[in-house]
Amino acid sequence: MSGGVDSSVAAALLKKDGCDVVGLTMHLWDYDSVGGNVFSESSCCSVETANDARTVCLNLGIPHYVIDVRDAFEKSVVSNFSREYLNGRTPNPCILCNSEMKWKILLDKANELGFYYFATGHYARVEFDKKTGRYFLLRGIDSTKDQAYALWRLTQPQLERTLFPLGDFSKKEIRKIANEFNLKTKDKKESQEICFVPDEDYSRFLDERVPGLKDKLADGEILDQQNNVLGAHKGFPFYTIGQRKGLGIAVGKPVYVTKIDAESNRVFVGDKEDLFCKGLFAEETNWIAIENLKKPKKVSVKIRYNDIGKPATIFPDPNGVKVVFENFHQAVTPGQSVVFFDGDVVVGGGVIEVDIKE
C-alpha cells in the first residue's frame, strides 16, 4: 500500500469481499540519501504516504506493517538507475521495483505472515488459461490507466498468487468507491514522478550521486547527422532519446536527440524523421503467455508506458528478441522496456538494447 487511492481501494474491496487482509507498505528510501527534499505529500513511499496507508488500514480494521527495504531498493533499483544513465541509457525504475521489490520481498513477507495471495492497486488483470495451462497478464479495462506494460517481468509463480482488484474498474469508478468508503486518500492526487527523485531533477540527482559528474562530462560535443559539431552539452547522462528542449543549441529549426554515445561523451541530434526506426533488439526477455518464442509472431509493441502500440513481428534471437515494425516507430530508447501484446494479453517483454534504422 503506497498511500494512494488505488491501493487503498484495492484493500477496501478485498475486505468487503470477506478476505483476511493485511496492508504492507515499503520503506524504500530517505530524503537524506536521494536529495530533492520538496516535502511532497504525493510522492510515492514517503513518510506522509506511509501514514496515509496506516490510517486507511486503521479505518478498514486491518493490520498494517511497514517493511524496511532501503538496502535492497538501493542495490536493485537506485543503483541500476544511476548506472544505466551513466551508460547513456534510459532506465525504467518502476518496472524493476515491481519485479524486484513488490513481487519478491513483499511476496516473501506474505509467506511469513501465512498469506497465499498478493494484491496491488495496479490497473491490470490476471486470468488462468486452461488451454495452455498458463497464467495470462491482461491490460486493465480502463485503457487510460492500464499498467500491464509495467508488469511484464512477472513470472508464472508470481502471477498465480496475484490479485488485481482494480483491473475491471475505471479510474472514475475507483474515485467513486473511495468516496463511498470515505477513505482518507479519496481525493489524493496521483504521483507522476520517480519516487526517489521527488523534484524530478535527474541531473541534480545524478550529480549528487557522482560528485563532480557535471564537471567531468561537460563540454562534450553535440553533433548533427553528418558529424558536424553544433555545440557543447552539459554531460550525456542528462539527455535522453527524443529530447527536444534544453539542448542549448540554436540551429534555426527544432532538433531532437537521436543518439547518445557514452564512450565518446557525444550527443547526436537530428530532425524528427531521424528518430524513426524500423525495429530493435531487446534482451532480458520474459515470456508470460508463451513458454518461449520459437518462431516469428505478429504482435502489438509498446516501447514506452504511454505508447499506444505499433504492429510488428517478433523473431527469436540467441540473445533475446528481434522486433521489426510493419512501418516505423520513433524514439526507440535503449534501457526502456519493450512489451509485446496480443490483443489485451501480454505475450512478454524485454529491455531495449539497440534500435534498427533500416
Candidates 44, 45, 57, 195; catalytic one: 195
Q: Which domains does the chain have, with CATH numbers?
A: 5-121+165-181 (3.40.50.620), 217-270 (2.30.30.280), 276-356 (2.40.30.10)
Q: Does the annotation mark 44 as catalytic?
A: no
Residue 37 pLDDT level (bands cut at 50, 70, 90): low
DSSP 160-198: HTEE-TTTTS-HHHHHHHHHHHT-TTTTPPPP-S-TT-T
Rounded CA separation 159/102 (Å) = 12
Query: DSSP character for 131?
Result: T
Query: Are the CB atoms for 3 and 185 separated by under 8 Å?
Result: yes
DSSP labels, 260-294: EETTTTEEEEE-GGGGEEEEEEEEEEEESSSS---
- Would you call 119 helix, strand, or coil by DSSP? strand
Please tell me whether residue 207 adopts helix, strand or coil conformation: helix
pLDDT tens-place string over residues 71-120? 999 999 999 999 999 999 999 999 999 999 999 999 999 999 999 999 99
Pair 6, 166: CB distance under 8 Å = yes
197: Cβ contacts below 8 Å, ≥ 6 apart = 34, 36, 205
Torsion from C-alpha of 119, 121, 124, 126, nearest 10 degrees: 10
pLDDT per position as a tens digit, 234-291? 889 989 999 999 898 999 999 999 999 999 999 999 999 999 999 999 999 999 999 9
Of the chain, the percentage scoring pLDDT greater than 70 comes to: 95
pLDDT, tens only, 199-231: 888 888 898 888 888 888 888 999 999 999 999
Q: Of 39, 124, 34, nearest to 79 (Cα)? A: 34
**DSSP codes of every residue in 208-262:** HHSTTHHHHHTTEEEE-TT--EEEEES-GGG--TT--TT-----SS--EEEEEET
- Check if 57 is active-site: no
pTM for this predicted structure:
0.92
pLDDT at 35: 62
Q: How confident is the model at residue 44 (pLDDT cuts 50, 70, 90)?
A: low
User: What do you get for the CA distance between the two ends of the chain, in Å?
Assistant: 45
Mean pLDDT on 112-138: 97
Q: 34 falls in which pLDDT band (50, 70, 90)? A: low
Rounded Cα distance between 202 and 238, Å, is 7
Report pLDDT for 42.
Answer: 46
Looking at every residue in the chain, the average pLDDT score rounds to 92
